Structure 1
Amino acid sequence: MVKETIPSAWETKRLTIKDLVEDEIQPVQQLYEQGSFIHKWDGRSLDKEFVHRCFTVGDLPPNGTKDRFKIQVIRLKSNEIMTGLLITYHGFPQPEIFYINYLYIDKEYQNEGLGHELVTELLRILQLEKYNEVRANVAMKNWPAVRFWTKLGLNTINGFFGDKEHGENQYADIELIKTF
């Protein structure tokens, strides 16, 4: 059974989250590039067209479809300042699984509990929509993200992907899950 996608617009106590619109592509790309420091942990290179590609075709899993993909902009309610980016896929690898591809909060607003607030509300929405599992893929060298996701209940390891040996120029990801 195919599950509904999360709403095109939703909110938390301090945030509004809305689907990306075309005129936001450039500022959201700049926000994405601000978070490119994670590439020192995941071994990837900066994609200068990432947000445009997400908007036009999506960042899809194998056999994925654009209608199950979302790229959403996070803003502060108080002043509408763009503070983050949430990228998700609904129904991978099975219809009842929700996948968090990417979450980034602007460095100026990190450590204020905004990410925790956002994910807590997202998990509530997913339970209402009857998803039975949520997954997030995290670079193993990204200790802040590993701590963040495990504190929010994504604390079961589903698998390791990437290099088999540890080293300065070797990288691996860990897929974390939370079941409802």
Structure 2
Amino acid sequence: MVLKKMIPSVWETKRLTIKDLTEEEIPTAQKLYDQGSFIHQWDGGSLDKEYVYRCFTVGDLPPNGLNEQFKIQVIRMQETGLIVGLLTTYHGYPTPETFYINYLYIDKEYHKQGLGQEVVNELLDILKQTKYNEVRANVAIKNWAALRFWTKLGLNTIQGIFGDKEHGVDHYADIEVIKYL
């Protein structure tokens, strides 16, 4: 398999700088991940206290995935340098032409300011310059805000629905959405 071009180690939007995570940033990034753990009420998961460290050391990989195709990046406000978000991505899953957004979270103090949309729009522009032909994200069906977010950004083709077959309080399923580039 030929590895597609990786997204840059550092890139910017109008208000943000997105860069590869450093070891010193792991505790701050983990706090952001912990803050976003409310999503587990919709996906049936549990808080992973080692998520950021694991991503930094071995990655959050798909089946047969390679660490060198995974990225974990922090999102900083340009004006203050404050870390306000976390982005994890995989380059080339499930096909070499697919770019996968594993996780995107913006600090709750910065919600509703368009920062997530700013990150994804710039990321889509970067990806259009590569040979990727699609972008995917996986969202818990019960996470209505995230479904609205991704579909508004054009990830509005359903690739599949995975998880429990029946609806219920203790039943969970995810929807994989795609945007063709």
Partner of 2:49: 48
Aligned to 2:167: 166
CA contact (8 A) 1:101 1:137 kept: yes
Alignment correspondent of 1:105? 106
State the 1:45 CA deviation. Answer: 0.5
**1:60-99 alignment runs, 5 A limit:** 60-99=61-100
1: CA distance between counterparts of 2:120 and 2:31? 22
State how many pairs are aligned: 180
Inter-partner Cα distance in structure 1 for 2:51 and 2:114: 26
Displacement of 1:129 in angstroms is 1.1
What's the TM-score, normalizing by structure 2? 0.98
Map of 1:36 onto structure 2: 37
Q: Does the residue aligned with 1:54 lie in a helix, a strand or coil?
A: helix
Per the alignment, residue 137 of structure 1 pairs with 138
CA contact (8 A) 1:160 1:175 kept: yes
Identity score, percent: 71
Structure 2: how far apart are the matches of 1:120 and 1:27? 25
Q: Matches of 1:117 and 1:52 in 2, distance apart?
A: 26
Which runs of no fewer than 5 residues in structure 2 stay unpaired? none
What are the superposed Cα offsets for residues 112-166 of structure 1, whole Å, 9 maximum, x if unpaired?
A: 0001111000000000012100000000000000000000000000000000000
Matches of 2:56 and 2:45, distance apart in 1: 20
Which residue identity is paired with 2:10? A
Contact 1:2 1:91 in 2 (8 A): yes
Q: What's the secondary structure of 1:111's corresponding residue? A: coil
Q: CA RMSD, aligned part only?
A: 0.5
Residue 158 of structure 2: aligned partner:
157
Name the amino acid aligned to 1:127. Answer: K
Return the offset for 1:173: 0.2
**TM-score for the superposition, normalised by structure 1:** 0.99
